[in-house]
Amino acid sequence: MLRLANNGFAKHFGWLKHGHQLLPVPSTFQALSRRSILSASFSCPDAWQSRLSAHDAVSGLDLGNGLLRALDRREPVAPVDVDIYANKLDSFELSYLPYFSNVLAKFRVTQESLGKLESTDHALVRCMISLGQAELLVDWLRDKFTYGIFLDQFSASLLIDHLYEAGDARLAALVAFDHALQDLPSDGWPCTGLMLLASISRAANQLSEWTTAVSADANADGEEAAEEDDEDDDSPDTQHVIVDYIRRPNYDNYFDIEEERLQVGLTLARVGRRLLAEWPGQPAGLACLLIGLAAWEKPDELLSVLRQQQLPAVSESTLLVVDSLLGSARCLGNGKVNEPGKRPRCRPEAIEEARAAVKALPKAQAPSAEESWHAELFAVAHRLVAEHEAKSASRLAALYAEFARVRLAELRSHGDWLRKRRLFRDVKSRLDDLVGEQESLTAFDRAAEIRYAAWLAPRTRAESRVTSAQIWRADIANADRLLDEASEAAARGGGRQQATAAALLRRSTITKEKFRPLKE
C-alpha cells in the first residue's frame, strides 16, 4: 500500500514512501507545485483594463448606494447596473467588501437576477484576485444560496492558477470540485488541466490520511454511536421548531458531498472520463478515473470500468494508490443497510471484488520513480494547459469583446425602457391634471348630475355602512333641532306658533313615534 511520509512529503513535497523505501518526488511535481501554470498573456491584461473605458464617468460608490436603496425598496434593478458595479470592485477599499456582499446577496433573491450577465461573475473573480481576497471569494463561491456565483472556464482557470501559485492546494481543489459539478465544456482543456492539477495536488497531500484503513464494523459502530449521542442530546439549549411539513430525507451523493476526499474523487472521476473519451489508449486517463472512483468510494462503477476490453496498462504505483483507497473506504457493517438521507456506504463484497480486479490489471513495464502516479498525471495536466493556452487566450480576448458588446446592448435596452416608463408617467400625470381641471370647471353646471351619479355609484359594504351612519347622525341632529324649536314655539303659545311647530315636525325625516307628544 502506498503511503506518503507525514512530515516529509506533506510539508516539503520532497519524498514519497513506497513500501519501506523513500523515493524522491519527481522534479515535475516540485516545479508545478511552486509556480503559476498559466502565462501572463493568458489573462489578456490590456483587454481587461479597457473593459469599462466607456463608463469611467460612473461612480462605483454612487452606483452601489443607488442599487442598495432600490433593493431595500423592492424596486426593479437592472442586471447591467450590477455588472458595472462588479467590474468597478477592484477600485474600492477592502473595508467596502461587506457592503458589496450585501448588495450581491440582496440582488440574488430578486427576479431580475435570472437575467444576470455572464460578465458579472467573471469580473467578480478577477477583481477579488486583484484585491488579494481569493479566500473570501471561495467562501462566496461555495455559498450558492446566498450569492449565486457560477464560474465559467476562464474565470475558474484564473482562480485555480492563482490559488495554486499561492500554495493553497486545498482551496484550488475546492474550486475545481465546484466547477466539476457543472458541465465541463468541450473546449475547456486548460481549465480541465488545471482542475486535474489542483485535485492531484490535494490528493497527494492528503493520501496518507485518506488511506488510513479501519474495519468496516468498527467504523459503522463509531458512526452510529456518534449519531445516538446527537439524538440523546436534550440539553436546555435545544430548540424545537414547528414546521408546516417534514421533507423526505434524501442524499444526493453529488451536490450534497461535504467530505474532501469524496469531492476530490468526484473531480478526478469526471476529468478521467473526459480524458478517456478523447484519448482512449492513454494510461493517464484510466489512472485518473480509477483513482477518482476509488476516492469517491464507487466500487461498482470502478468494476464496470475494469470489465471493459482493451484497457491500457497503468503503472504499479497507480494500482497501489487505488488499492489503498479502496481498502480505506467506509463500508456497511454486518446486517446494516443504507438509511435514507445519509451518505450511502459501500458493500464489503463490492470492495473486495474491486480490489481483486485492480490487482489483476496489466501493469506497465518496469515502473520507476519518474513514472509514479502523480508525476504522470502532472505531466498530462501541464501538457493540456500548454497546448491549448494560446488558443484559449485568443478566445478570452474575444470573450471580453463580447462582454462589452452585450453590456452596451443591455444599457441601450435599459435606457429605452427607462425613457418609456418616464414618458408613460408624464402622460398619465398630465391626463390626471386635465381630468381634474375639467371637473373643476364643470362642477357647478353639472352639480345635480354629479350628485345623481354619485348616488348611483356602486359602493362596497364598508362604504355603505359609513354612509348610513353619517345619514343617521345627521337625521338625529336635525330632529333634536326641530324638537327644540317646537318646544319653544309651544311655550310661547298661540295658534300660529302651534301651526309652526307642527310644520317643523312634519319636515323631520324621523317618524313621530320617536318623539314624545307635545303638551298643549
pLDDT tens, position by position, 419-448: 998 999 999 999 888 888 877 777 677 777
Question: What ranges do the domains of the chain cover?
Answer: 9-210+372-409, 459-514
What pLDDT sits at residue 503?
Answer: 59
How many residues in total does the chain contain?
520
Q: How many CB atoms lie within 10 A of CB 128?
A: 24
- Rg over CA atoms, the chain: 39
Comparison of pLDDT for 36 and 104, the residue scoring more: 104
514 within 8 A of 479, measured Cβ to Cβ: yes
What pLDDT sits at residue 434?
Answer: 87
Question: What whole-number distance in Å separates Cα of residue 129 and Cα of residue 159?
Answer: 7
What pLDDT sits at residue 485?
Answer: 76
What pLDDT sits at residue 463?
Answer: 66
Alpha helices, H only, 328-372 = 348-359
Interior angle at CA 40, CA 37 and CA 44, nearest 5: 125
* Residues 499-510, mean pLDDT to the nearest whole number: 55
Q: Which of 243-252, 359-368, 405-414 has the highest mean pLDDT?
A: 405-414
Question: What whole-number distance in Å separates Cα of residue 329 and Cα of residue 353?
Answer: 13
| pLDDT tens digits, 100-121 | 999 999 999 999 999 999 999 9
| pLDDT tens digits, 400-427 | 999 999 999 999 998 898 899 899 999 9
Three-state SS sequence of 142-199? HCHHHHCCCCCHHHHHHHHHHHHHCCCHHHHHHHHHHHHCCCCCCCCHHHHHHHHHHH
**264 pLDDT more than 90:** yes
Cell of 184: 465541463
Comparison of pLDDT for 155 and 458, the residue scoring more: 155
Question: What whole-number distance in Å separates Cα of residue 206 and Cα of residue 212?
Answer: 10
Of 418, 409, 417, nearest to 80 (Cα)? 409
* Residues 185-208, mean pLDDT to the nearest whole number: 87
What pLDDT sits at residue 496?
Answer: 58
| pLDDT tens digits, 369-379 | 445 788 888 88
- Mapped onto helix, strand or coil, the DSSP state of residue 342 is coil
What pLDDT sits at residue 20?
Answer: 32
Comparison of pLDDT for 385 and 226, the residue scoring more: 385
Question: What whole-number distance in Å separates Cα of residue 136 and Cα of residue 150?
Answer: 15
Three-state SS sequence of 82-135? HHHHHHCHHHCCHHHHHHHHHHHHHHHCCHHHHHCCHHHHHHHHHHHHHHCCHH
Q: Virtual CA dihedral for 347, 349, 351, 354, nearest 10 degrees?
A: -130
Whose cell is 347622525? That residue is 473
- Rounded to two decimals, the pTM is 0.73
Comparison of pLDDT for 227 and 428, the residue scoring more: 428
User: Average model confidence (pLDDT) for the chain?
Assistant: 79
